Amino acid sequence: MATLAKADFLTAADLAAWQDGRWARQRERVQASPLYRRLWAGRKAPARLADLPALPLSDKAMLRASQRATPPFGDYLAVEPEAIVRIHRTSGTTGEAMNIALSAEDAADTATVGARAQAAAGLGPGHRVVHCLNYQLWMGGFTDHTTLEATGAAVIPFGVGNSEKLVQTIRDLGITAISCTPSYPAVLERTIATHFPGLSPRDLGLGLGLFGGEAGLDDPAFRGRLESIWGFKARNANYGVSDVFCNFAGQCEQQTDLHFMGLDVLWPELIEPEIGDVLPWREGATGELVLTHLERACQPLARFRTGDIVELTGLGRCVCGRHAPRFRVIGRSDDMVVVRGLNVFPTTVAAALGSFAELSAEYRIRLAGGGPYDALPVEAELAIGQVISAGLADAIAARIKREIGATARVTLLPPGSLPRTEGKTRRVVREGGSS
């Protein structure tokens, strides 16, 4: 057995012996990886997990370079090819595909750990959940299907697109829950308004919305709007890092921070993103999440930089009974926009915009050139029925200044002018460069 039953309910002390036991085996796997042998330059993986910071950090660019030099899986593949039972191909924002291999045990662990997140959000036997994530070139689509199923719920695979058929399917099958990106309900609302006169989103009877793939749900105004339009509980049941574990964190029914559900298979650290120094793992700490596999056969990673900046919000027992640490994702280190020395993330901009009823939930931060920036260029879209006014733009800029501390240049856009996407919505657009 490669996972520990109910690991999300155990304390750090309860987990310690298990973690040490897994690491005793896992360090042999990582040490066999040419990529890590190169990176560690002759050093051995430490026997104690607490000594991991003696090793250098690894990152996505190293994995990409490794796959480029040793296709298709990179020289961090630690098993014979016959042990691989599943291959995911993902296309990142750079457009360069990554190939992720899983053994049968890796795949089973992935489903078990992800199911903890979906179950904590309220999914389980008796639910019928329609799964509307993209299955193509994205690990989440298929993998989340397996995690949803592992909760005991009945899963209807749907994928993206064909939203008219989706509405009909929800009605015909008595579906109780939907799994999709936070921006997808807006697409469905349009479909209902256009093709189902007299029907409102609430009439579909969905009780639970399981979201992932974007951070939008962290904005209370966005969440509130979604819950009031649809009449379901909106939960982020799905946070992960495709190269590490596809889904290892989600919200419970009692609060809106993410529980870190995978302490039996992952060893987390926090680092200062610019310098790489290790930060103490304590409540209130903010830093980039770094992960080491305690259990992974095919492509084991150690001290892997996720690129996500997180804040640890709770290490004690949650009302739900879980001791799994709680955290919030503040942003991507590469989505971070530095405005006059201030670190600004799209999520905090979304929170400031969310307090204006005159706006839809859509916005962009459109950067020209490579910086440095002395003001934040924000494009905010008006809600239906609203008209552009200079006073509103000024009020938004003033609120951003007050809540974030940055000077903003706000441009208002007519209702419906920003594209709705069925996948991840890009909030920071860097003109003349990649984002």
Q: Which residues fall within 8 angstroms of residue 311, CB to CB, at 6 or more apart?
A: 284, 285, 286, 327, 328, 330
* Helices of type H across 183-268: 184-195, 220-230
**Which residue's CB is nearer to Zn ion, number 130 or number 312?**
312
| Phi and psi, residue 208, nearest 5° | -145, 130
CA angle, residues 190, 194, 199, in degrees to nearest 5? 85
Q: Are strands 245-250 and 258-260 parallel, antiparallel or unpaired?
A: antiparallel
- Provide the β-strand partners of residue 154: 128
Min. distance of Cβ 319 from Zn ion in angstroms? 6
Burial of 44 (0-12, 13-18, 19+ CB in 10 A): exposed
**Which residue's CB is nearer to Zn ion, number 268 or number 307?**
268
**Which residue's CB is nearer to Zn ion, number 11 or number 254?**
254
CB 178 within 8 A of CB 234: no
Residue owning tokens 């799209």: 346
**Which residue's CB is nearer to Zn ion, number 139 or number 258?**
258
Residues that bind Zn ion (CB under 5 A): 252, 254, 318, 320, 322
Min. distance of Cβ 293 from Zn ion in angstroms? 25
Min. distance of Cβ 127 from Zn ion in angstroms? 19
Min. distance of Cβ 322 from Zn ion in angstroms? 5
Min. distance of Cβ 5 from Zn ion in angstroms? 18
Which has the closest alpha carbon to 227: 188, 252, 201?
201
Token digits of residue 397: 């800029």
**Which residue's CB is nearer to Zn ion, number 322 or number 427?**
322
Q: Which residues fall within 8 angstroms of residue 307, CB to CB, at 6 or more apart?
A: 59, 60, 288, 332, 333, 334
**Which residue's CB is nearer to Zn ion, number 252 or number 271?**
252
**Which residue's CB is nearer to Zn ion, number 204 or number 318?**
318
Return the number of other C-beta atoms located less than 10 Å from residue 409's C-beta.
Answer: 15
Min. distance of Cβ 8 from Zn ion in angstroms? 9
CB 367 within 8 A of CB 430: yes
Q: Which residues fall within 8 angstroms of residue 199, CB to CB, at 6 or more apart?
A: 167, 192
CA angle, residues 343, 91, 96, in degrees to nearest 5? 85
Min. distance of Cβ 264 from Zn ion in angstroms? 17
**Three-class SS state of 223:** helix
CB 331 within 8 A of CB 346: yes
Min. distance of Cβ 347 from Zn ion in angstroms? 21
**Which residue's CB is nearer to Zn ion, number 168 or number 254?**
254
**SS (HEC) of 9-45:** HCCHHHHHHHHHHHHHHHHHHHHCCHHHHHHHCCCCC
**Which residue's CB is nearer to Zn ion, number 57 or number 320?**
320
Min. distance of Cβ 257 from Zn ion in angstroms? 8
Min. distance of Cβ 248 from Zn ion in angstroms? 15
**Which residue's CB is nearer to Zn ion, number 85 or number 320?**
320
